[in-house]
Each structure stands twice: as C-alpha cells, then as structure tokens.
Amino acid sequence: MAEAKTHAFSRLQHELTNAQKELKLKDEECEKLSKVRYQMEEELEDLTASLFEEANKQVQDANLKRIQSEKLLTEANQKIEVLQAEVVALKQLVLTSTPNSPNKHLHPQIDTHTPKKEKTSIKPFWKTHRRSTSHHEFTKEARQKEEAQQESVKLKCKELDTACFEEFQQWRKSPVQDPINSQFFSRVFNEDVKPCLNFQNNRLATRLLECVEKNCLTIEPIPGDNSYPRKCSLTESHKLCNYKIRLDTEDTEWYSISQLCRNRIAAVCDFYTYIRYIQQGLVKSEDKEAFYEISNLRRQMALAKLGYT
C-alpha cells in the first residue's frame, strides 16, 4: 500500500507539474494575443481617423469645385446674354442697311460732309460695293413686298397639314439635317430641295447639293457688261449667264449659270440658312410661326423650280 501511494503521489505530482507548464504557456499565449488585439485596435482607430479626414477633405474639395463651376457657369451665361444682345443688334444693323440708305455703322467709308465736287468725282461706296453671295434686295419696296407675301402666305395657311406639322414639332426638339432619320427633313428634302436642284448636269448638281449642305458655296455676278448667251454649266444649254458659282473655297474653277439656276440655288440656300438659325437657337418664335416661315421657304423653292421670280 505504501508503494502504491508513493507511486500515485509521484504520478499526480508529475501531472500537476505538466498542467502548471501548460497553464504558463497558455498565459503567455493569451498575453501575446492581448497585445496583438490592442495593437490592432490602435491601428483600426488610426485608419478610421484617417478615413474620416480624407472624406472631409474630399467633401471640401468637391464644395470648392462646385462653387467654382457655378461661378464659371454664371460668367458663361452672362457672356452668352451679351453675345446674344450683340447678335440682335448686328442683325438689326444689317437689316436696316440698304443700298439706297446704307447704315453708317456698317459703312464708315460714307462721309455725309463730303463737298459736292468730290461727290461728283468719286462714286459712293454703296454703288461700287459688290453684293455678297446670299444677297437679297433689301430695299424698302422689296422688304415691304416680301413682308406682304409672308402675310399672304400666313393668311392662306390657316389649315395646317397636321401630319407635317407634327413631324416638324418632333424635328425641332432635335433639329438635324438628316434626310434619313428625320421624317420632316426627309419630306422637305425629297419634295422641295432635291427637285429644285435637279439639273441636266447630274454630276455638277450632286456636288452643288453637297456644297449647299456644307455651306461652302459662292455665287457672284459676272462683272462688266457680259450679257451675251453662253453655255449654262447646270442646264447645259445656251442662255444669258450673268452669274457664276464656285463649289468650294479651295476650288479655283468657276461655273457660269443662268438667272433661273441662280434663283433656284438661292431659294434652297435661304431654306438651309433658316434651318441653321433654328439649329443655333436664333429662332425664338413658336412652332406654328416657324412652320409658317418654312412653308414660305418651301413655296419659294417651288416657284423658283417652275421659273417664277
């Protein structure tokens, strides 16, 4: 019994020693884990603080950029208003300047205090001035006649083509010169523009249409007294050709055309000019008024195509 007790005591003592060692190892491991956790908590707090600081900095930068953008937008709107006012003033100056009564702001060469002797020896500026390619006879009588024609068209067009008018309203929301994807522009192009520029010389007529669309066409009267029959480049027939055209600014070749061809080209150019005004936002009138104006331009193309002036 004594040996058994001694053996059991030694075994228990050995197990106790092992348990104490294991506890000591566990304590050391727990202490290490506690240090790691404390270190991770500190790093997490630092990271959270840096994230908040970075977020606040980004918010401040965004606010500064927004304020600067709003300032630039305000300045741009003010510049646009000034430019629009200048455009309106320039248009009024241009429309009020006629060959009979030229505007002094546009023609500073005119001197009303010139002596009579000098006036007899020097031709006035407006008599020697060459008209531009898209010149209209802006005399008082011509403008009154044109306004009367427009009023007569408006009176006659009380019943609108509702289908065409709806197509125009849809087109005005996104005005593009696309005869393929736009129903309204396709209608005008196929019914008025293309027939008006349909000439015997198909190759030159195709180039002419492209230049009208790109706004790179030049029309000038032939200078001097050259009123004799010559071959018209578009109709390929001998007529009085008092005008010439150049299809590109870089092209040096001029083509002689008759009065009929000039009127048909001018009518189409007037239509495209008004379309460009709509695209640039210069036409502020309502849809119905703009549609009346386009109907008038289509009427002019139809009359020019039939030879009426």
Segment 262-309, tens digit of pLDDT: 999 999 999 999 999 988 888 888 888 889 999 999 999 999 989 886
Supply the DSSP string of 221-257, one letter for each residue. Answer: EPPSS--SEEE-TTT-SEEE--EEEES-TT----EEE
Backbone conformation region of residue 215, classed left if phi is above 0, alpha if psi is from -120 to 50, else beta: left
Could you list the residue range(s) of the whole structural domain that residue 282 is in? 154-306
Is 216 a member of any domain? yes
pLDDT tens digits for range 156-193: 556 778 888 888 888 888 888 888 888 898 999 999 99
Is 13 a member of any domain? no
- Residue 144, pLDDT > 90, answer no
The residue with tokens 């009138």 is 285
Average pLDDT of the chain? 79
Top pLDDT among 27 and 112 is at 27
In this prediction, residue 300 carries a pLDDT of: 92
In this prediction, residue 149 carries a pLDDT of: 59
- Residue 97, pLDDT > 60, answer no
Question: How many domains does the chain divide into?
Answer: 1
Is 34 a member of any domain? no
In this prediction, residue 297 carries a pLDDT of: 92
Is 292 a member of any domain? yes
Count CA atoms closer than 13 A to 263's CA, side-chain side. 14
Confidence label for 225 from pLDDT (cuts 50, 70 and 90): low
Q: pTM higher than 0.85 for the full model?
A: no
Is 93 a member of any domain? no
In this prediction, residue 129 carries a pLDDT of: 42
In this prediction, residue 62 carries a pLDDT of: 92
Residue 213 corresponds to which tokens in the numbers above?
Answer: 């669309």
Is 17 a member of any domain? no
Is 125 a member of any domain? no
Is 22 a member of any domain? no
In this prediction, residue 135 carries a pLDDT of: 44
* Over residues 4-17, mean pLDDT: 86
Residue 148 corresponds to which tokens in the numbers above?
Answer: 């009367």
Measured in residues, the chain has a length of: 309
pLDDT tens digits for range 118-131: 443 444 433 444 44
Burial group, residue 186, by CB count within 10 angstroms (0-12, 13-18, 19+): middle
